[in-house]
Amino acid sequence: MLFNSPVYGVFLFVTYVTFWALRRRSILRPLLLALASYLFYCVGTYDAAIEQKIVTGSDVPLGPIKWTILCVGIIFVGSSLDFWVGRTLGRTENPRSRKILLLLSIFYYLGVLSIFKYFDFAVDSFAAVMRWAGVEVSPVHLRLVLPFGISFFTFETMSYTIDVYRREIPPADKYLDYLLFVAFFPHLVAGPIVRPKTMLPQLAAEPVATDATKQSGLFLIATGLCKKIVIGDTLSINLVNRVFDNPERFSSLEVLVAIYAYAIKIYADFSGYTDVAIGSARLFGYELPKNFDAPYVSRNLQEFWRRWHISLSSWLRDYLYVPLGGSRGSTWKTYRNLMTTMLLGGLWHGASWNFVIWGGLHGGALAVNRAWQRREEGKRGAEAPKREGAPLAHVVSVVATFHFVCFAWIFFRAKTFEHAILMLQRLGKGTLESPNLAPKVLAVLALGFVTHFMPKRIYDGARDAFVACPAIVQGALLAVFAYVLHFAAAAKAEPFIYGQF
């Protein structure tokens, strides 16, 4: 079930009305949300199985219905296991027993990820190494379809057991609350990655949603869908997919514009998903974490990762980078930790060497950025306040950072390493023909840049003005949004990029 489909609108409305009709029923309310979330996941998984057959001509293992049951079983069994592990950790003092319990939970999810996401990649990589060594190996593939949102809910559940193990949070009191924490439909498929320390207390308390909170949620849903459909899908269908699939057919200028378009497309798509997720949760009185903060205005890669996919970058920092040693050791250990974190972060996105290369590029750039910062600190003294750069230097830093991010996006988006190299080769040709750059596409690309770089106060002002409007005006504005979305939407709803991870 896609956020940008009419079915989701009906599902959200029915769930919302029923939820608040049960506001005096403290047991039935979370039960309703949990059942609705599992229904959401069932429909999404079944639709993905049908899409697999349409695209490839082959059925998913076990058939769509049994496959859906299996995928739902994975998340339900994992949630039940973690609830038991958390409760047991809370009353166990023996260090060895506690470690065994933690590893039991982690191995379950890493095992699921290894089978569904990385098995084929691992055997293909092994076969490639063996062929390079002169030994021919025929790899065995499982060819499994990736269950919806598996990378997101595994990180959320792992953070729960790790936090309980560290005694940073108490175990969840109610089984139903924990099931809902994992499966809550707004964040289930593509985040934001919620932390148990912020979400579980919300689920344990009575939900509170003022009219202003609900209205801001509707505004987020409307603007998020506009980002996705009007900007992201238009750029993807009319330029990005064509160029990245067959770069040899396009000029250098068209390839360059397509790279810029992909940068805006992936931001509009993913931040649009996040807006819809946060807005949907607000309708029920729950607050999900912020996930994007105008990342392309960043002056360096460190700032970029404080603004891009914030819930993932903070998860990698707290559960991987810091445990590896962070920046506490020698300079070279810090660089090693940065590179390891980003390589694994790249691999988290998908079982492909392109994602590893993308992560490696960001890891290397972050190491260079850290070296530069330490050099500047050494010049002015560690205790001296940091001086703001000149306006021109600020602009140059933003432009340089944006172009490095775009360069790395080539490897993220390209189907194969060879396609990425072909994109770079086409850029190097220096050809300037542009018959495929339609005015509509350029206008939408310009709109994407303008809305991204406009001051935050403009967006906040528009949201506050919407909330302050009478209900009849809000309804009229939402009807305008719906008309624009209907006019701009493709014949078939385009899936969100991060749904595949």
Just list the catalytic residues.
349
* 489 vs 445: CA distance, rounded Å: 16
C-alpha to C-alpha distance for 349 and 359, rounded to whole angstroms:
9
Q: Report residue 106 as tokens.
A: 């982690």
| Cα-based angle 253, 423, 420 (whole degrees, multiple of 5) | 155
* Cα-Cα end-to-end distance for the chain: 16
Q: Which residue has the tokens 């009419």?
A: 6
The closest of 319, 304, 226 to 263, measured between CA atoms, is 304
CB 381 within 8 A of CB 353: no
Which of 220, 189, 177 lies closest to 43, judged by CA?
189
Distances (CA, A) of 306 to 166, 294, 357: 25, 10, 21
Angle between helix axes 252-283 and 211-226 (nearest 10 degrees) is: 160
Q: Do residues 302 and 370 lie in contact, with contact meaning Cβ atoms separated by under 8 Å?
A: yes
Closest residue by Cα to residue 369 from 344, 341, 335? 335
Pair 178, 32: CB distance under 8 Å: no
Which residues contact residue 126 at a Cβ distance below 8 angstroms, ignoring those fewer than 6 apart? 137, 139
Concatenate the DSSP letters of all residues of 47-86 into one string.
Answer: HHHHHHHHHHSSPPTT-HHHHHHHHHHHHHHHHHHHHHHH
Inter-residue contact 246 to 306 (CB < 8 Å) = no
Closest CA to 89 of 162, 159, 176: 162
Nearest to 341 by CA among 323, 368, 353: 323
Among 112, 287, 109, residue whose Cα is nearest residue 187: 287
Nearest CA among 297, 251, 303, 244 for reference residue 497:
244
- By the 8 A CB rule, do 268 and 231 touch? yes
The C-alpha angle with vertex 14 and arms to 12 and 272, in degrees rounded to 5, equals 10
H or E segment and range at residue 399: helix 391-413
